[in-house]
Amino acid sequence: MKLKKRFTRKTSIALIAVLALLTAAGCSSNAPDSNSKANQNGQGNNGNAVSEEATITLGRVVGSDNQFKNKESIEDNVHTRWAKERFGINFKVDWTVGTGEAYTTRLRLLLNSNDKLPDVFTLSDPTLENQVVDSGKVMSIDEAFNKYASPRIKELYAKYPEIWNTVTYEGKHYGLPTFNANSSFSVLWIRQDWLDKLGLKAPKTMSEMENVMDAFVNKDPDGNGVKDTFGLSVSLKKGVSAVKDTYMVSSDFIFGKKAVPTYWTEAENGTLQYGSIQPIVKEGLAKLSEWMSKGYLDKDAGVQDEAKAAESFVQGKSGMVFGPTWMATYPFNADMKFNYVPVPIPAGVDGNRGFGSEPQSSVRFYFNKDFKYMEAFFKYLDAIMGPGFYDPKSELANGWAEGYDYVMVNGEPVYEHDKIPGGWIDVKKYSIYGNDIQTPKKELEVMAKLGQGVKPETPYEKYFSARPKKWADAAAVLQTYIDDAAVYDQFTGPPTKTMAQKGELLRKMENETFLKIIYGQESPDSFDSFVDKWKSSGGNEITKEVNDWYQAVKNNK
């Protein structure tokens, strides 16, 4: 059986990008006119003069979050007209669907028939991506990337070479991975008003956290005379680690950094090891079991999903919740009439701060093997990525389109929705990606500066200054430990053969065992028998297959 040397990963934050599909197209390599608007705005990076137009086919997800005005459509709108003017790109929408599931189904049907795939499309499903490459219907992009990618794009990908793991097969790159913004890294949100009422300080260690939780449970912090509060909101329905879509309300920080359950990380001998079977996890489960028995956790945590579990904090029933900085916008809301603040997470049971992080890449571009307009694609990508890599001279520096997502007032961009004639429109959803294309940690860096009280100066900083202050406060807290605490899943390939056959059953066994330990139905010592059974029931084979993939990846770097 031929080994696919592939780098891949699922996620992501933003949950829309995964569905987006679009395309871009070509222009000549003529040098831009020095007086052209594109050149003046810093987008003449590779030369934007156009001597021909290219009509590029695409498929799109057009859901309820795609709004239009001025009689526009997904094919003809302010952004597509801009792309045509600047880069000679004619977007032609061959088909639309309403959901991500329908989008994936449509691509799968096209793949299995003789019908043509779109010229440029995005995917986030490692298994389907593997099938797409096997079909021979998409091209390797190595030559085009080397020839047409801008210097700053090349520099970015060289800085994070492991991101290519998601699209590499037998030494060649068959897709272009996009970067996550890393905005789903987490802090500990805590009720400051409860701390003040009980004369407590925010915890810095696990022991201090336990003391605070005990007070939140037993000292009536809400003052209603009823013992109806608890310490920490968590969701255990899908496991003890962060669900790789929302990354909120998990308990994986309790385990520390050396072994995050469900994550494959590199051991001291250079091989990948599965976090859920490492000895330190037993200590973490014992700690969760202790907390459950003392009432620190909601008794319903095992059946609540992330949204339901978060409600207990939003509704004032719990005193802490672990989750991303963006929780300041959702699920937190203006109806929360109490004071809550972000604080650093404590070190876990292994003595280190750690938590499962979103992957570096969740979505990849793929290109039809007959696609001819890579030069135009990379020019367009360079302009919208960041966007424009946060270039204050970029046409997109203030926003995606004046009169749509911002309006100029006295020479300054204004983002309040009610001040935009005809209403606010999320123009980035018209783009080739269907969302922002970020670069790693830049969004967090800007938000952290705002949280530290730095006055926003660039248009990009002003744009983000419209976000809730607590989001910025959380980013400033997170910035102090993110590089030491973030743990990435190192296995980014498609499911291995044994994973496909037995992975679901093994994961079910894992979740059931962990819940029984947490709820006191089994002793923490049952973890040892779980590990033995996991290994003998296919885990050893999976570990070998994962490491075969990992070695192939390292050998081809």
pLDDT, average across residues 520-533:
98
Least confident of 30-39, 287-296, 514-523, 530-539: 30-39
Q: Buried b / exposed e across 71-82, counting CB within 10 Å, b at 16+?
A: ebebbebbbbeb
Please give the C-alpha separations between residue 305 and each of 159, 302, 312, 364, in angstroms, as whole numbers.
36, 8, 12, 28
Alpha carbon distance 534, 541 (integer Å) = 10
Query: Quick check: 240 pLDDT over 70?
Result: yes
Q: How does pLDDT run across 249-276, given as a tens digit for each residue?
A: 999 999 999 999 999 999 999 999 999 9
Rounded average pLDDT over 415-423: 92
Q: What is the 3-state secondary structure (H, E, C) of 36-70?
A: CHHHHCCCCCCCCCCCCCEEEEEEEECCCCCCCCC
pLDDT surpassing 80 at residue 48: no
Residue 496 per-residue DSSP state: P
Percent share of the chain, pLDDT over 70:
90
pLDDT at residue 244 greater than cutoff 90: no
- pLDDT at position 51, please? 53
Look-up of token digits 């986030």: 124
Residues contacting 91, CB < 8 A, separation 6+: 22, 23, 24, 25, 56, 58, 75, 80, 83, 84
**Per-residue DSSP letter, 138:** B
Beta bridge partners of 273: 265
Q: Cβ neighbours of residue 317 under 8 Å, at least 6 residues apart? A: 228, 229, 230, 298
Range in 24-28, 363-367, 406-410, 414-418 with the lowest mean pLDDT: 24-28
pLDDT at 524 over 50: yes
Taking phi over 0 as left and psi of -120 to 50 as alpha, with beta for the rest, 390 belongs to left
Q: What is the reported pLDDT for 253?
A: 95
Mean per-residue pLDDT, 118-126: 93
CA dihedral 394→328→163→58, nearest 10 degrees, is: -60
Backbone angles phi, psi at 551, to 5 degrees: -65, -40
At the fourth CATH level, which superfamily is domain 186-356+488-545?
Periplasmic binding protein-like II (3.40.190.10)
CA dist., res. 82 & res. 327, Å (int): 34
Class of domain 17-182+361-398: alpha beta
| Residue 320 β-bridge partners | 190, 232
| Consecutive H or E run containing 107 | helix 100-111
Write down the pLDDT at residue 331. 95
Q: What pLDDT was estimated at residue 270?
A: 93
More confident residue, 386 or 34: 386
**Beta pairing partners, 366:** 121
pLDDT in tens, 449-471: 999 999 998 888 888 888 899 99
Q: Report the alpha-carbon distance of residue 100 to residue 446 in Å, rounded.
A: 30
Measured CA to CA, the distance from residue 222 to residue 334 in angstroms comes to: 19
Please give the pLDDT value at position 1: 31
pLDDT at 30: 33
pLDDT at 554: 80
Please list the residue range(s) of the chain that carry CATH number 3.40.190.10: 17-182+361-398, 186-356+488-545
pLDDT at 8 > cutoff 60: no
Band the pLDDT of 2: cuts 50, 70, 90: very low
Instruction: Give per-residue pLDDT as tens, 168-204.
Output: 888 899 999 999 877 678 999 999 999 999 999 999 9
Compute the average pLDDT of residues 341-368. 94
pLDDT tens-digit map of 481-514: 998 999 999 998 889 999 999 999 999 999 999 9
The whole-chain average pLDDT of the chain stands at: 88
Question: Across residues 28-42, what is the average pLDDT?
Answer: 34
State whether residue 498 is helix, strand or coil.
helix
